[in-house]
Amino acid sequence: MPVAGESEIALIPLDEPGLARLLAAAVAEADPLEVMPPVDGPEGWTDHRREVFLAFHRRRSLDPETAIESTWVVEFDGATVGAARLRPVSADSALEVEAGVWLIRSIRGRGIGRRVAAVLLESARDGGAARFVATTTVDNTAAHRLLRGTGADLDVHGANVDARLEL
């Protein structure tokens, strides 16, 4: 999925080679807690946590028997720099999609997250979704600004912030 008008960014549907590149990018330039759910054990990119990362994406995106979401590898100038995902969830009678994105540290703060969010929104609309939602933490200012920039309303619930945008 090329990003309109910005040829150097592309969102590529996740596959096994892409997953290997994604893990390498995460290990090199992201904290595990930024890119996957918490895993018990020593901090950092332990062998166990790397296996959990791979299993997480295989289960949720790659295995047709268990897949619940679509994940894309974010590429910038041909390099793997992060991931974006959309998970359809049913809410009320409308189709709602829950979104997530992470980027490697060295390219954050350059407007790439904003451009990736725009592609996710377009994809959600094209897929017939009526509502776009995302959750982050109260201390994640970049994520708040990114989400608010889409036009979403933000609600604080304890340590979390829920974003919601009617499409």
Name the residues that contact ligand COA, by CB under 6 A: 34, 100-103, 108-114, 134, 136, 140-143, 145-146, 149
State which residue, 43 or 63, has the beta carbon closest to ligand COA: 43
Q: Tokens 């829950």 identify what position?
A: 98
Q: How far is the CB of 26 from ligand COA (least distance, A)?
A: 10
State which residue, 32 or 113, has the beta carbon closest to ligand COA: 113
State which residue, 129 or 143, has the beta carbon closest to ligand COA: 143
Q: How far is the CB of 91 from ligand COA (least distance, A)?
A: 18
State which residue, 8 or 64, has the beta carbon closest to ligand COA: 8
Q: How far is the CB of 65 from ligand COA (least distance, A)?
A: 27
Q: How far is the CB of 144 from ligand COA (least distance, A)?
A: 8
Could you tell me the end-to-end alpha-carbon distance of the chain, in angstroms, rounded to an integer?
20
